Amino acid sequence: MSFPRAHVRHALALATLLTAGAAVASESAAPVFGDAKAGEGKAAVCAACHGADGNPTDKQYPKLAGQNEAYIARQLEAFKSQKRQNPIMLGFATPLSTQDMHDIGAFFATKSALPGVADEQLVGRGQALYRGGDAKLGVPACMACHGPDGRGMAGTGYPQLGGQWADYVTTKLKDWKGGASWGDDVNAKIMPAIAGALTEADINAVASYVEGLHSAAAAGTATTAK
């Protein structure tokens, strides 16, 4: 059976368009990988607040050292799109390309967060919440997403928390408790409900425990200080 030439030309044209469209879709969906060396220069502007190696001295700014690349890139994109509101970060993130964001993330991922300490009087409750949650409050264990040693889960986009300043963690948890939103960030959407169920004492306890959390034989332990 033969087909009219017009139909053949139409079919070929359609196939060409579909193939081209698939190629474009494939390119747009292609993952972006950061270059830590390129990110070193791009991250220089971050040093003023976050420290040259991602370890800031001012506890209001989060430690970026050791944070996974994907998380940093996603947060920079959220600041740029204003899904996450921060006028200071908006200014820094706006000129960055997606590649820039991943390069910066890759650079900080190569660094190590300096260990912190937990308040000895708070570590008991903080550890209980981090490792087991609180069924009565409907609060899941923090380590379910952030890992037993606080290293996070890069593959699923959950951030490293181990060693993070208690002051910063406290501020974020209180923001979420107050109804703050990070737009359509799927991972962050679960935090307002969790933070809302915590008391102020619980927030202080788990934030303190997180600061002292570090890796020890694949199980997190918290260094304490009176």
The confidence score (pLDDT) of residue 225 equals 63
User: What does the pLDDT look like over 170-201, one tens digit per residue?
Assistant: 999 999 999 999 988 888 999 999 999 999 99
Same domain, 218 and 123: yes
The CA angle 94-77-168, to the nearest 5 degrees, is 100
Same domain, 60 and 138: no
Domain that holds residue 60: 36-109
pTM of the model: 0.82
Same domain, 198 and 156: yes
CATH number, domain at 149?
1.10.760.10
- Domain boundary among the residues 109, 131, 158 is at 109
The confidence score (pLDDT) of residue 214 equals 73
Residue 16 has pLDDT above 60, yes or no: no
- Domain boundary among the residues 60, 89, 109 is at 109
Residue 98, domain member (yes or no): yes
- Domain boundary among the residues 80, 109, 138 is at 109
Same domain, 93 and 166: no
Same domain, 135 and 103: no
Residue 27, domain member (yes or no): no
Residue 20 has pLDDT above 50, yes or no: no
Residue 8, domain member (yes or no): no
Same domain, 49 and 101: yes
Residue 26, domain member (yes or no): no
Using CA of residue 59, residue 150, residue 105, residue 82, what is the dihedral sign? negative
User: What does the pLDDT look like over 23-40, one tens digit per residue?
Assistant: 444 445 688 999 999 999
Tally of domains in the chain = 2
What percent of the chain shows pLDDT beyond 90?
A: 76
Same domain, 78 and 172: no
Residue 5, domain member (yes or no): no
Same domain, 202 and 135: yes
Residue 16, domain member (yes or no): no
